[in-house]
Structure 1
Amino acid sequence: MALVAAPGHVWAEGRTLTTSDVVTIKVVGQPDLDTATRVEPDGTINFPYIGRIKAAGMTEDALARIIEKRLAARQIVTEPHVLIEVTNFGTQVTIQGQVNSPGAFTVDRTTNLSQLLARAGGLRDTATTVTIRRQGPHGPVTLRYDGKDLVSGKINGDRVFIQNNDEIYVDQSPFYYVYGYVGHTGEFPLIRPLTVQQALSIAGGISPLGTDSRMWIKRRQADGQTMEVPASLDDEVQPSDTIIVNERIF
């Protein structure tokens, strides 16, 4: 005679399962069938009297319904009601590039992009595009988000959910360089459109010995060659430009 389970239960949709998740499966009123099992690399779990069941990619709710149907079909339990809970999460993601603490992270609960970036120490000032690469049902998928828009809230990172084995890379902003008679020479991030005048201001301005009438820009061309062109204060700075401020002629 088949066993009779306890009254019904209302289920939420639940989390989507992934490989290495550990799930606890309870058949209400049937403690002998309570099972803790891991989602194997092939995406399956093993359940008493049923055998192997595909679990990866299914929600907790969907998997519970399948187990109920199979228990009922094999007359193991009459009108079974199954509860599934993920007790150990197997999701692993990596984040590299312009974050303060890059590395690999275990995601032990439903996690969005904003939360993951926070765990990685947040975006650096030099961060630009945030790229997520993942394996979709029909092949590789690439998602790109503007880092500034994520920080400002223009793009809601709370709505971008992380999946198992996601690879996230945060690009670095381009740079420009300033040399010669300025307050501070060196490399500067080009995180927004700048004129030469604005770029020089960031570099501490033209020193008393320098002049804005004898400036040059070394600029790389599309063919890889570098050209040196006269520069004015209103010129727009391009990535990898080198601005050279020469000495004033007295």
Structure 2
Amino acid sequence: MGVTDEPIFSGETVAITVSNAPDFSTVARVSMSGDVPVPYLGIVHFAGLNSASASALIEKMLMDSNLVVHPHVLVTVDGASTGITVLGEVKSPGIYAPTGKHMLSDILAMAGGLATGAGRIIEISSDSAPDQKTLIPWDPTLHNTAVFDRVLQAGSRVVVKPCGVAYIGGNVLRPGAYPVCASQVTTASQLVALASGALITANRGHTMLIHTLPDGSRVVQQIDMGKILNAKAADPVIREDDIIYVPLSGAKYALVNMFGYVAQIGNTTLNVYAGR
């Protein structure tokens, strides 16, 4: 317990000591609405006050109620009684008992900052309403976080979501799953580039983009990667769990096989790739 110049927050424990009238002294936790029950005075709103202003408020209420003639009140705060839990993609997950202002960015810094696998969404909930979750967009590069920074109350639970991935397969050099958090927006051409480009046998004009919707359903869209790479068509944005499939061109495959056979001289074989 200690005297604080910072505002009192919901979830913190306060001790009200009336030195010349101990029957009015109490220790209580600040409710989620910012209130504290005080003996003989009822419910008193403490949230936003500091130790000095809360002490002055109780003194005035005791005098106005003619309960104590000259009360001497001291309000102290134990912010460590209810910490803030930080989980997920941070370097040091745990329960932290911050002093002073409880800003989200400060709590993340106390947890060692974001891990390399951090995504762009932070989930915030509280002890009193664990099922009510607030999703906060967060830029791991710290370019656009100020507008989303916010005060956290004691008892909050912060979960840094992992970076999502998108998938690319078919006729690309390196099919697989790739993270979509490296930049603010990931496009189809960027995902193809991450896969080291399309093979010469690819039918880029009939590339399939499969969007995964929040309910788990999927929408299939045909895109022309050739036009996109030549800036002749819009480059669609890729979201988490999307899939790009670059199909095989039968004609190109036949030509590659034919030229590969013709170019085979002795022990030398010509291997033809595109996008390298």
SS in 1 for 2:97: strand
TM-score, with length taken from structure 1:
0.64
In the other structure, the counterpart of 2:259 is none
Offset at 1:188? 1.1
Q: 1:121 to 1:211 in 2, by over 3 A?
A: farther
In the other structure, the counterpart of 1:224 is 217
Bigger drift between 218-227 and 162-171 goes to 218-227
Point out the structure with the larger strand share.
1
SS in 1 for 2:217: coil
Distance in 1, Cα, partners of 2:99 & 2:164: 35
Please say if residues 97 and 170 of structure 1, whose CA atoms lie closer than 8 Å, have aligned partners that are also in contact: yes
SS in 2 for 1:160: coil
Offset at 1:134? 5.4
State which structure, 1 or 2, has the greater radius of gyration over its C-alpha atoms. Answer: 2
| AA of the residue aligned to 2:236 | E
| AA of the residue aligned to 1:188 | Y
**Structure 1, gaps ≥5 residues long:** 1-10
Q: Matched residue pairs, number?
A: 227
Point out the structure with the larger helix share.
2
Distance in 1, Cα, partners of 2:202 & 2:79: 66
Two-structure CA RMSD over aligned residues (Å): 4.3
Distance in 1, Cα, partners of 2:144 & 2:190: 26
Please say if residues 196 and 237 of structure 1, whose CA atoms lie closer than 8 Å, have aligned partners that are also in contact: yes
**Structure 2, gaps ≥5 residues long:** 229-234, 257-276
Offset at 1:245? 6.1
SS in 2 for 1:148: coil
Offset at 1:145? 3.7
Q: 1:132 to 1:190 in 2, by over 3 A?
A: same
Q: 1:142 to 1:196 in 2, by over 3 A?
A: closer
Q: 1:18 to 1:89 in 2, by over 3 A?
A: farther
Q: 1:153 to 1:62 in 2, by over 3 A?
A: same
Offset at 1:187? 0.9
1:99-118 matches, within 5 Å, as: 99-118=90-109
Bigger drift between 110-119 and 161-170 goes to 161-170
Which residue of 21, 32, 55 corresponds with 2:13? Answer: 21
SS in 2 for 1:127: strand
In the other structure, the counterpart of 1:241 is 243
Distance in 2, Cα, partners of 1:120 & 1:37: 33
In the other structure, the counterpart of 2:192 is 200
In the other structure, the counterpart of 2:269 is none
In the other structure, the counterpart of 1:163 is 153
In the other structure, the counterpart of 2:273 is none
Q: 1:196 to 1:45 in 2, by over 3 A?
A: closer
Deviations 1:206-249 (A, max 9, x none): 4xxx2274243251476935647354141425331233364862
Identity of aligned residues (%): 19
Q: 1:57 to 1:202 in 2, by over 3 A?
A: same
